[in-house]
Structure 1
Amino acid sequence: MEPAEANAGIGGHATWTSTWSAYMLEYLASLVVNGTKTSSTFKMVHYNGCAKPLQEKFGIVRTGEQVKNHLKTWQKKFRKICDLRGLSAANWDEDTCTVTLDYEHYNNHIKDHKSDVDFLNKPIQHFEEMNTIFGSTMATSKFAKDSSAPLGTEDGGAEDCEAEETGKSDGDAIANEDNNGATSSASKTSKIGKTNNSKKSNKRSRPDVDPLVAAINRGSNKIAKAIKEVGKSDNDVPSDLFDNLMAFNGSFNETHLSFYYAHLVSQPHIARAFNSLPFDHKLNWVAKYIAENYSVQ
């Protein structure tokens, strides 16, 4: 990598590829799961800790502040996903992490909210990492949207976009340990009061979910599903196997079809493979079996 490319992130504008974003989310989610992050927010030491392996692994230079600002972009995405999951007509596919809407509701919604097309009826990348990172803090985050706010609005969007592009942000004295800006005591008191009121209001509108518990639950669900699959009898044959086979009655002798059915039932793995074939291929399998085992009648 050329030095100019490696140092592209030192200036104000920081670009992120999907691979770099994925690594950042996995790294920060692991801090939550293993208990390294003990407070409700990440500290600058965590962001700096993420920036270091990004440089070592990908040869890119990112500051802790830029990691922090990029995480805000993903926090906005997660908030949007939570809002969409709350739509009365929406369903949630746990296996694929997909917010689903039927054809009519989808078209009506996209008409008014075109930007939501990236979050509906398609698997959401990195949802589990986002849920681990933001799941318990969205209710008290300064980015959390009031439940009465219109779905199409993006409060604080301009400020967040500016922070992503310039690497600078306002009101980050808690997370940025190097912030030496002076703040009057009256201003501090006002901010604290607003923050506390916001927290109380948002706590009522969204339940807190411990991210560690959420991560453990997801892992447990996956294990349970895997056990359920393993526990299934290997002798099961498709319930519509006989009907599918009898569709060839008229093309082949019914007795021969009955014998072939018995053959399939005795070998369930072949039966399942046969049943999943297109019609023409099923026809070939039946013809081959009858030709090899019986004289044509």
Structure 2
Amino acid sequence: MEHLFLEILAEEAQKGNKPSNTFKAVSINRVVEAISEKFQVQCNAKYVENHLRTVKKHWQIICTIRGESGFGWDDNMKMITCDRATYDAAVMAHKKYEPFLNKSIDHYDEMALVVEKDMATGSFARTFADIDLDDDNIDSVPINCENEATKEVRTNVSSSGTSKRKRKKVQESVDDEQIKFVGEQLGKIANALEQFSADKTPHLYEEVMSIEVEGFDDDFLCSVFDYLVSHESEAKAFLVISKKHRKIWLQKFSQG
């Protein structure tokens, strides 16, 4: 399902149906129709848009890791590489890094086309868009740098009327930059809250239906999905546990 999802959107991006950071409705509808037909499920535009946000989040993590020191890149394998010590330290500090370290990243080129409209397939470049997506950079931004610039201007200009006008103009420019910076950070916070509160039902459905266990047909998996939707705490636990433990859970569920 993931491959079909990214394959179609990558084609749509190459056709020019992604004029900005969002795809045209015709592209989203094409994914909906393809998934519904191939997997015989009730897919909708909301599911596609929610999963697209997940893909963007994964791409953000990949860009963040590649921008940090201590990590290499194998372009043939599409894999972020590092030694054992770096791996252990990174995973301990950022659990979300683990799925993308020392293992081939599935559908990397398609992700590049879907998420980065100006990135060539198979290449990587650190852009302003990458930095803007990087949540970990928020704390490193020098918030007081404009204030230091203001102090320097005030020290160097004279007390004449012309200098006062210059100081006022510089201060206004600094204030505009500060307002712009605060606006950007509020936008990031709002986006994070939106993702946090987003409906996880489509993701739960995808995870349940992707399980391949002998003896469990689609009717049974649909029953599992209906049960988990009505039991939120168990659904959260189900999404956290490993595939091996999910199979054990399903076997117990089938036994009542």
Match of 1:3 in 2: none
- The yes-or-no answer on 1:85 pairing with 2:120 is no
- Aligned-partner residue type, residue 103 of structure 1: R
Give me the whole-angstrom Cα distance separating, in 2, the residues matched to 1:144 and 1:66.
22
Alignment of 1:163-174 (within 5 A): 163-165=198-200
| 2:194 equivalent among 135, 159, 169 | 159
| 1:41 equivalent among 11, 22, 25 | 22
The 3-state SS of whatever aligns with 1:149 is helix
The 3-state SS of whatever aligns with 2:28 is helix
- Aligned-partner residue type, residue 17 of structure 2: T
- The yes-or-no answer on 1:99 pairing with 2:80 is yes
Residues 150/129 of structure 1: CA separation in 2 closer, same or farther (3 Å cut): farther
Residues 56/142 of structure 1: CA separation in 2 closer, same or farther (3 Å cut): farther
* Shift, 1:159, TM fit: 2.5
* Shift, 1:116, TM fit: 1.3
Match of 1:31 in 2: 12
Alignment of 1:50-61 (within 5 A): 50-61=31-42
Instruction: Provide runs of 4+ in structure 1 moved above 6 Å.
Output: none
Match of 2:96 in 1: 115
Larger Rg: 1
Select the structure that is richer in helix: 2
- Aligned-partner residue type, residue 195 of structure 2: D
Residues 43/148 of structure 1: CA separation in 2 closer, same or farther (3 Å cut): same
Residues 139/55 of structure 1: CA separation in 2 closer, same or farther (3 Å cut): farther
| 2:56 equivalent among 54, 75, 87 | 75
- The yes-or-no answer on 1:144 pairing with 2:125 is no
Match of 1:124 in 2: 105
Residues 124/134 of structure 1: CA separation in 2 closer, same or farther (3 Å cut): same
Give me the whole-angstrom Cα distance separating, in 2, the residues matched to 1:110 and 1:140.
25
The alignment's C-alpha RMSD in Å is 2.9
- Aligned-partner residue type, residue 13 of structure 2: V
Residues 36/114 of structure 1: CA separation in 2 closer, same or farther (3 Å cut): closer
Cα deviations across residues 177-196 of structure 1 (Å, max 9, x unaligned)?
xxxxxxxxxxxxxxxxxxxx
Q: Is the 8 Å Cα contact of residues 70 and 82 (structure 2) preserved in structure 1? A: yes
* Shift, 1:37, TM fit: 3.2
- Aligned-partner residue type, residue 198 of structure 2: A
Gaps of 5+ in 2: 119-126, 141-187, 203-256
State, as a whole percentage, how many aligned pairs show the same letter.
Answer: 31
* Shift, 1:129, TM fit: 0.8
Q: TM-score, normalised to structure 2's length?
A: 0.50
- Aligned-partner residue type, residue 50 of structure 1: V
Higher relative contact order (CA 8 A, sep 6+): 1
